[in-house]
Structure 1
Amino acid sequence: MGHFAPQLQPTWESITLARFLRQLPPAIELVHDAGDRPVRWVEPSDMDDPTDYLMADELILTSGFPFLEHVEDQEWIDRFIAKLVQAQASALGFGLEPYFASIPETVRVACQRHGLSLLQIPTSVPFAAIGIAFAKLMEADGAAQLRSNAEANRALMRCISQPDPEQQLVATLSQRLKGSVRLTDASGQTRFSTTIASIAALDTAAEAQLVREAFQTTGPQPFALHHHDAQVHLAFPIRAAFSPSGQSPLLGALCVGFSRTPSAFDHHLITTALGLLEVLVRERVASSATSSQLATSLLFHSHTALDSLTLNHLTESIGSNTNQAVRVIVISPLSAAHATETNFHLAHVHALFDTRLAMRRDDHFIALTRTEPTPDSFERLKANGYLAAFSTPAQLESQLGEKLGELLAQASGLLPQMLEKQQCLDAASIPRTFTSLLPTQAGKQLAEEELAQILELPKARRDLYLEVLHGWLDANGSWDQASKNINLHRNSVRRHIATIAEILGKDLNQAQVRHDLYLALKFLTVS
């Protein structure tokens, strides 16, 4: 029975009881029609209770033997038929002879009462003939399915030669699956989509969660699944080629929605589309690593206004959203294990930031992008193994070429602080001061070296000298103002400042010395 039947295949899904009856000899009579149902297997059984061995949608054939001792026991027969219905049997085929000349009335009543289709099979039709008819129907459907698969695959392959292959693939896949299809980038933003009116779209939060789950899946055929009412939504990650380290950069996701349970044919078609999309997306985001780096390097070193042709090429190279400003970013891998895998990182940077303009510099990467520095994008970058420092935004116009050096300096200036804090940074949200550009730990270490002789003094004297020095520098060297700042007589301030200068061995009359000490005190107070 179900334990010995082949696993469900798409070739069987179109075989229903009504269709199967049309293939059988007309001598077989439909005694009770409880509605058309799928038939996935035909199984003879004369067991008193075969339900433990049934799978859904089986046509059960019986010689009537189980009913011999219970033919007048309506309650027993009702229980027998009810169990078949509970096991989701498609129908019961009752064979005449050698036990019964006609179907017992108790069996007919039970099938009507519980909604199970009942067939009367004459002695002229062996059970084996019914099984053979079912096998032939499966074989015919299998051949038709293979032809359909081949045509569907050819339709998908033809999309590759179109001017907009990804968009054509999405549209063709949707048509063949009769489902909604959406292609996203590595940030989960929709690139192309085709919807079906009968399939309700997921709300924004559920859709984003489905894509995040797909990005986190692993294995040879990973996907995320979401059931919504009677609908099924799937999301498949699209990845670049595996790197020597075994990790694979995310390039996007393919999301498919059905108003039914997807079949094996659907899965086969999605797998084909995923393979084609991976090739297309890799070409789009990776292009040539060498030419990409060369173009990026020339752009950052030009320092001149961009002509209209260059501006158009630049626009096409940094994403599809033309309404967003552009930023220069500096990207650092979190793991040193892949530091030498330039092509691996460039493919990932291209995908994560939807840009073709990226290059390697020392142990980090530089790129031009429209990606906005948000908490979500920071979280996504870190989840993918990267930290990034963003410059302030700039409009995509001819003068951008003259500003790129300044934007790069902004982002590069945040690199030490980003690495120290191990978090992504946005120049627009950080005050533009020299202090803000220095990494905290390095600045504090330098401050301790600068003020070492003071810090080595006993606590009471150390704290007094630090307070006096800070108050005097904060007052820009004014004795009266410093006296007010720290509530100490001006003569005492003078005397302490002279002592501090002697201890430090520095000339406090020099502006550079005072500036260095002021910065040192600032970092010394940072926890």
Structure 2
Amino acid sequence: MDDPTDYLMADELILTSGFPFLEHVADQEWIDRFIAKLVQAKASALGFGLEPYFSSIPETVRIACARHGLTLLQIPTSVPFAAIGIAFAKLMEADGAAQLRSNAEANRALMRCISHLDPERQLVATLSQRLKGSVRLTNASGQTRFNTTIASIATLDTATEAQMIQDAFQATGPQPFALHRQDSQVHLTFPIRAAFSPSGQSPLLGALSVGFSRTPSAFDHHLITSALGLLEVLARERAASSAASSQLATSLLFRSHTALDSETLNYLTESIGSNTHQALRVAVISPLGTARTTETNFHLAHVHALFDTRLAMRRDDHLIALTSAEPATDLFERLKSNGYLAAFSTPAKLESQLGERLGDLLAQASGLLPQMLERQQCLDAASIPRTFASLLPAQAGRQLAEEELAKILELPEARRDLYLDVLHGWLEANGSWDQASKNINLHRNSVRRHIATIAEILGKDLNQAQVRHDLYLALKFLTAT
């Protein structure tokens, strides 16, 4: 063949009888191009057979191989090419058997990690040792759980690591992953997912990141696949734990209303995958659509994974979780894409007095539940003004306002608008006739007369503070856009 490079794989030994060189043996430029193509195709060596065309290797071939760094072998007539092929096949067979033994031993080493007291940490360490690479295990929020580094492999910057995890979570295919090359180093990130749900969603449990100072081999990918399978099993078990014990522990914490001793606080911190420097929030979670009818244990397993916590329970038609997850846009999007909405309380420090505040945090998050369902979006109590009016959904508030002011709203348009303006101005002035007169640009006696008429129409005593308060809120909801 004049040019075999289109058919070559990397690291192949090329055997030639010298026939392609017959017409070009004196053309150094042509032979240089031929050898350069072999090098570009990553051939490992050129085996030049003597006879029937040449009795020795041409000098032009020697010069080209030396110039381009290609190993050159002289094959005597006593060694036929078939013998080389047979020897190579035997070597491949022996190498394959050794590779199978190595694979089996590596898989056994990974399997032994399952029985370790800390299986995920041990599995990460064993995988790093077998791959001779850096390995990092993160949770669904991208926080590092276990990490093994190698000095010769550079650590990626935080932004690149976060982007790779995001890319891995969005990747598709039989084995999705994200790839990043940096000089001679290769970094791979694989998603770890929960079991598929009836709706086809598969919540993320975390990510496995591996760094190499070389191009990973087929053996490396095989080992990573095995490790991913084991990590998914461990992560699902950790996320699901025992539904009954999880709900019991969560319920008892909310019912305690007392300060937590140091031992209980430590258990709480470990159960939400946190440390003492992070804050705790109560999240009230509602499944969306048809997912509501799914059994409780399924939802609990997903909540454990999505919020990286073991403390969750079912209450009525929603779930409650204790979590250190911070409410942010990416978390909100991840929850909704997996079929859930959540309302978060304000954060609280992980300290002994937390036990006395859990009921208040639960009330905060539960108070946002109606608004969350009406808006169909996740909410954070820390970003919503804390008022009594804020606890009532806009639609429900408007409906109540229309019922409260129904007799005014039934009047002709001109009189209706006048009475609404007078009532609002008078309530804004806290019952002051003079201030109300200024607010709505009417004589104080006209204000008095209109307020008396409004009270008669509504059948209410406007001298009572509660009545005025209810009417004021009704007007607020009525005029809200």
What secondary structure does 1:326 align onto? Answer: strand
- How far the C-alpha of 1:459 sits from its partner, in A, is 4.0
Q: Aligned partners of 1:75, 1:475: CA distance in 2, in Å?
A: 99
CA deviation map 1:195-248 (0-9, x unaligned)? 111111111111111111212234432222222222211111112222333322
* Residue identity matched to 2:253: L
Q: Does 174-183 or 508-517 show the bigger shift?
A: 508-517
Q: Which amino acid aligns with 1:446?
A: L
| 8 Å Cα contact 2:201/2:338 also seen in 1 | no
Per the alignment, residue 29 of structure 1 pairs with none
Q: Deviations over 1:329-388 (max 9, x none)?
A: 101223433542322221121122221110111221101122233344334433443222
- Residue type of the alignment partner of 1:182: R
CA–CA distance in structure 1, aligned partners of residues 382 and 308 of structure 2 = 21
After superposition, the Cα gap between the structure-2 partners of 1:429 and 1:105, relative to the gap in structure 1 and judged at 3 Å, is closer
The within-5 A match list for 1:118-129 is 118-129=72-83
> Larger deviation: 492-501 or 330-339?
330-339
Q: Indicate if the aligned counterparts of 2:39 and 2:68 stay in contact, CA closer than 8 A.
A: yes
| 1:296, distance to aligned residue in structure 2 (A) | 1.5
Q: Percent identity between the aligned chains?
A: 88
- Structure 1 partner of 2:354: 400
**One-letter amino acid of the counterpart of residue 50, structure 2:** L
Over residues 463-517 of structure 1, what are the superposed CA-to-partner deviations in whole Å (9 max), with x where a residue is unaligned? 3221110111122222222112222211010111122223334332333322221
Residues 464-503 of structure 1: matches in 2 within 5 Å?
Answer: 464-503=418-457
Hey, what does 1:450 align to over in structure 2?
Answer: 404
What is aligned with 1:277? 231
Matches within 5 A, 1:125-204: 125-204=79-158
Cα shift at 1:259: 1.5
3-state SS, counterpart of residue 321 of structure 2: strand
Q: State the alpha-carbon separation in 2 of the partners of residues 74 and 298 from structure 1.
A: 86
**Offset at residue 434 of structure 1 (A):** 0.9
Aligned to 1:302: 256
Where do 1:19-418 residues align within 5 Å? Answer: 47-337=1-291, 339-418=293-372
* The 10-residue stretch of structure 1 (324-333 or 69-78) with the greater mean CA deviation from structure 2: 69-78
Compare 292-301 and 128-137 and name the one that shifted more: 292-301
Q: Conserved in 2, the CA contact under 8 Å of 1:483 and 1:493? A: yes
The letter for the 1-side match of 2:66 is Q
Distance 1:327 1:109, change over 3 A: closer
Output one character per residue of 1:281-315: Cα deviation in whole Å (capped at 9) or x when no partner.
22222111122112222322333444454334323
Do the aligned partners of residues 87 and 445 (structure 1) sit closer, same or farther apart at CA in structure 2, a change above 3 Å counting? same
Residues 1:327 and 1:86: Cα distance change in structure 2 (over 3 Å): closer
What is the SS of the residue equivalent to 1:98? coil
The amino acid of 1:395's aligned partner reads K
Residue pair 1:339, 1:363 contacting (<8 A) in 2 also: no
CA distance in 2, matches of 1:87, 1:402: 70
Give CA deviations for 1:49-103 in whole Å, capped at 9, x if unaligned: 2223222322111112222333333343333333323333222211111121112
What is the DSSP-based 3-state SS (H/G/I as helix, E as strand, rest coil) of the residue aligned with 1:201? coil
The one-letter code matched in structure 2 to 1:148 is S
Of 406, 419, 433 in structure 1, the residue corresponding to residue 387 of structure 2 is 433
Q: Is the 8 A contact 1:327 1:407 kept in 2?
A: yes
Give ranges in structure 1 of 5+ residues lacking alignment.
1-46
Determine if contact 1:354/1:369 at 8 Å carries over to the other structure.
yes
- Alignment CA distance shift 1:136-1:451 (3 Å): same
Question: For the aligned residues, what is the CA RMSD?
Answer: 2.1
| Count of residue correspondences | 481
SS in 2 for 1:366: strand
Of the structure 1 ranges 125-134 and 112-121, higher mean CA displacement relative to structure 2 is found in 112-121
Contact 1:286 1:346 (8 Å CA) reproduced: yes
Q: Name the CA shift for 1:85/1:407 in 2 (closer, same or farther; >3 Å).
A: closer
> Which stretch of structure 1 is more off in the superposition, 112-121 or 299-308?
299-308
**Shift in CA distance, 75/208, structure 1 to aligned 2, threshold 3 Å:** closer
TM-score relative to the length of structure 2? 0.94
- Cα–Cα, structure 1 residues 357 and 79, in superposed 2: closer, same or farther, change >3 Å? closer
Native 8 Å contact 1:181 1:254 kept in 2: yes
Q: 1:484 to 1:512 in 2, by over 3 A?
A: same
1:3 is matched with which residue? none
AA paired with 1:118? L
Secondary structure at the aligned position of 1:433 is classed as coil
Give distance in 2, aligned partners of 1:160 and 1:427: 41
CA distance, structure 2, for counterparts of residue 118 and residue 509 of structure 1: 107
Q: TM-score, normalised by structure 1?
A: 0.86
Report deviation, 1:431. 2.2
Query: Aligned-pair distance for 1:402?
Result: 3.0
Match of 1:32 in 2: none
| Equivalent position amino acid for 2:328 in 1 | T
Cα separation, partners in 2 of 1:345 and 1:256, compared to 1, 3 Å: same
**Structure 2 counterpart of 1:55, one-letter code:** M
CA deviation vs aligned residue, 1:157-210 (integer Å, no higher than 9, x gap): 222222221111111111111111110011111011011111111111111111
CA distance in 2 between partners of 1:403 and 1:162 (Å)? 37
Contact 1:71 1:77 (8 Å CA) reproduced: yes
SS of the equivalent of 1:509 reads coil
Q: Letter of the aligned partner of 2:122 in structure 1?
A: Q
Letter of the 2:184 counterpart: A
Contact preservation (8 Å) 1:390, 1:427: yes
**How has the CA–CA distance of structure 1 residues 316 and 68 changed in structure 2, closer, same or farther, with 3 Å as cutoff?**
closer
Distance 1:112 1:230 in 2: 25
CA–CA distance in structure 1, aligned partners of residues 73 and 301 of structure 2: 62
* One-letter code aligned to 2:391: L
